[in-house]
Amino acid sequence: MTQFASSSRFQPLREVEAYWQAIRAGRLVPRRSDIDPRGIERALEFAFVAERIAPGLGRLRIAGSHLTELLGMEVRGMPLTAFFATDSRNRISDTLEEVFNAPATAEISLVGERGIGKPPLEARMILLPLKSDLGDISRVLGCVVTKGDIGRAPRRFEISEVKINRLLGDAFLPDEVKETPVATGMAEAADPFEAAPRPYLRLVHSDDSN
């Protein structure tokens, strides 16, 4: 029963992962503009999109309300490392680089830091690479789900385990070079999250639509 409850609690991870595989459609990596929030409507509050802004550093562009609850503050424009304890930040940076460069997917097991007003808290996070409309792998679709009471924010996490799955050789289409190229310097497509209905949650956006 405990294993079943745990599996059910982390179900949003599987929904986001299944959606990413669906829009991937056999390609090495799907595009950021392929995402339609309606495809992960039940997991939106746990989902996020981050942009690579430097080696090992991803900035949150979009984040579901659960991420805001974890830090107890606006998360727009914040680095992904803000959710991690100091001792785990190098490891999440290395993991993020692996996701972008390999490319690969990652599933990370997390344990919340303890303190006054901060009860036991477990979490899992997935990182799924995306292409920008310029063709570079510099976006990531992610999801983070917790088990336990958040308690007093901010809640940051230590990494207990990282599982990496490299994608090379995993795609069944010949080459992605057959995709229609986008001219260098062209802005990305309009943010598909903008048009999505939001009946019960708030998504946090950065200032642009990348």
Say how many residues make up the chain: 210
Q: What is the pTM of this model?
A: 0.81
> Given pLDDT bands bounded at 50, 70 and 90, which one contains residue 196?
very low
From first CA to last CA, the distance across the chain in angstroms is: 42
Higher pLDDT: 41 or 195? It is: 41
Residue 8: predicted pLDDT: 78
Q: Flag whether 202 is in a domain.
A: no
Residue-wise pLDDT for 51-91, tens only, equals 999 999 999 999 999 999 999 999 989 999 999 999 999 99
* CATH number of the CATH domain containing 21: 3.30.450.20
Rounded CA gap, 12 and 103, in Å? 23
Residue-wise pLDDT for 10-62, tens only, equals 999 999 999 999 999 999 999 999 999 999 999 999 999 999 999 999 999 99
Q: Flag whether 210 is in a domain.
A: no
Q: Flag whether 203 is in a domain.
A: no
E strands, the chain, are 47-54, 57-63, 104-112, 122-131, 137-147, 157-166, 204-205
Residues 6+ away with beta carbon under 8 Å from 65: 45, 201, 202, 203, 204
Q: Flag whether 208 is in a domain.
A: no
Contact by Cβ (8 Å): 73, 153: yes
Residue 158 structural domain:
2-196
Residue-wise pLDDT for 160-178, tens only, equals 999 999 998 776 544 343 3
Tokens of 168: 């090379």
Q: Flag whether 33 is in a domain.
A: yes
What is the average pLDDT score of the chain? Answer: 84
Residue 6: predicted pLDDT: 54
Q: Flag whether 209 is in a domain.
A: no
Q: Flag whether 177 is in a domain.
A: yes
Mean pLDDT of 181-198: 39
For the chain, what is the domain count? 1
Q: Flag whether 81 is in a domain.
A: yes
